[in-house]
Structure 1
Amino acid sequence: MATSADAFETSVAILPGDVDDIGHVNNIVYLRWVQEAAIAHWTAVAPPHVQRAVGWVVLRHEIDYRRPALPGDAVRARTWVSLADAVRVERHTEIVRAGDGTLLARARTLWCPLATATGRPLRVSDELRVLFSVPEADGRTLKR
């Protein structure tokens, strides 16, 4: 099973409009970073023919905010896939301050693969499981 130790990491940018009225990065920006990290991981790992055939839609996001990101912080997103059932994949993301490793937020997202040709849900294929080292849920239900 993949863990944060095997995670894909990428830098995320704090843009001028990301800072809210109380001087820290707005909570909705963390959601953008979760999405950016997932896309970067997918692009880095999936071969072009798979990227052309498979798209993704989010079914659920859960975010726990721990500490604020502040203007001038260098921020990294660390993401990994943990479980998959027939049509859903569970992805985890941690947002950390790069300088000291402080955990700023932790997210759990359920994704559903789609056939890009039809826009219809796809079963999680063996090829996707191998690409991301994703075990099946083994009878456990992924929370909705």
Structure 2
Amino acid sequence: MSDRFIYDVAVRWSDMDAYGHVNNARFLTLYEEARVALFFTAARALGVTSFEEGIVISRHEVDYLRPVDYGEAVRIELWVSQLRAASFTVSYELFDEDVLASRAKSVCVPYNLKAGFPRRLSEPEREFLKPYLEV
């Protein structure tokens, strides 16, 4: 079993739709907040800052299992489900009051923003991701 990165995200009033639930598109924003916390904050704490030079998303996949209402923060658990030379897949589960409300995956591609092209993962990046890799 891999380590999971766990992140609590506040649900904002602006995340709501006309029905009083978190809008489907806002789930991606909540997942993004957790992903950014891992790749920028947690990675930086371990001396890995190269993710900040660029990561683009080449694919999102989201399953909505139940509505999420405005209220308490939601818990997002994420891990790496695939690690390749020039991309990796992040899998997520979103819990609302400890009930699974959504699952998702994002294919992430390291990207050289200055030069404008994808790049391979560096060895320090791979080492950072390995503890989160699903086995």
Report the TM range for the smaller structure's normalisation.
Answer: 0.7 to 0.9
2:43, 2:4 → 1: CA distance?
A: 12
1:106, 1:49 → 2: CA distance?
A: 28
Q: 1:45 is matched by which residue type in structure 2?
A: A
Cα gap change, 1:31 to 1:135, in 2 (>3 Å): closer
| Map of 1:83 onto structure 2 | 82
Structure 1 gap segments, 5+ residues each:
137-144
1:11, 1:30 → 2: CA distance?
A: 13
| Map of 1:50 onto structure 2 | 50
Check conservation: 2:48, 2:128, Cα contact below 8 A. no
Check conservation: 2:57, 2:108, Cα contact below 8 A. yes
Per-residue Cα deviation, 1:33-55 (whole angstroms, up to 9, x for no partner): 11111110112124254245x31
| Map of 1:139 onto structure 2 | none
Tell me if 1:36 matches 2:61: no
SS of the residue corresponding to residue 76 of structure 1 reads strand
| Map of 2:119 onto structure 1 | 122
1:37, 1:90 → 2: CA distance?
A: 14
The correspondence for 1:103, drawn from 100, 105, 120, is 100
* 4+ long deviations beyond 3 Å: none
1:135, 1:88 → 2: CA distance?
A: 15
Q: 1:126 is matched by which residue type in structure 2?
A: E
| Map of 1:92 onto structure 2 | 91
Greater mean deviation of Cα atoms: 79-88 or 54-63: 79-88
SS of the residue corresponding to residue 133 of structure 1 reads helix
Check conservation: 1:11, 1:77, Cα contact below 8 A. yes
Check conservation: 2:4, 2:79, Cα contact below 8 A. yes
The correspondence for 2:18, drawn from 16, 21, 26, is 21
2:114, 2:89 → 1: CA distance?
A: 23
Shift of 1:83: 1.5
1:28, 1:119 → 2: CA distance?
A: 27
Cα gap change, 1:117 to 1:48, in 2 (>3 Å): farther
Cα gap change, 1:83 to 1:135, in 2 (>3 Å): farther
Q: 1:103 is matched by which residue type in structure 2?
A: L
Shift of 1:105: 0.5
- The percent identity for this pair of structures is 34
TM-score (normalizing by structure 1): 0.80
Cα gap change, 1:117 to 1:128, in 2 (>3 Å): same
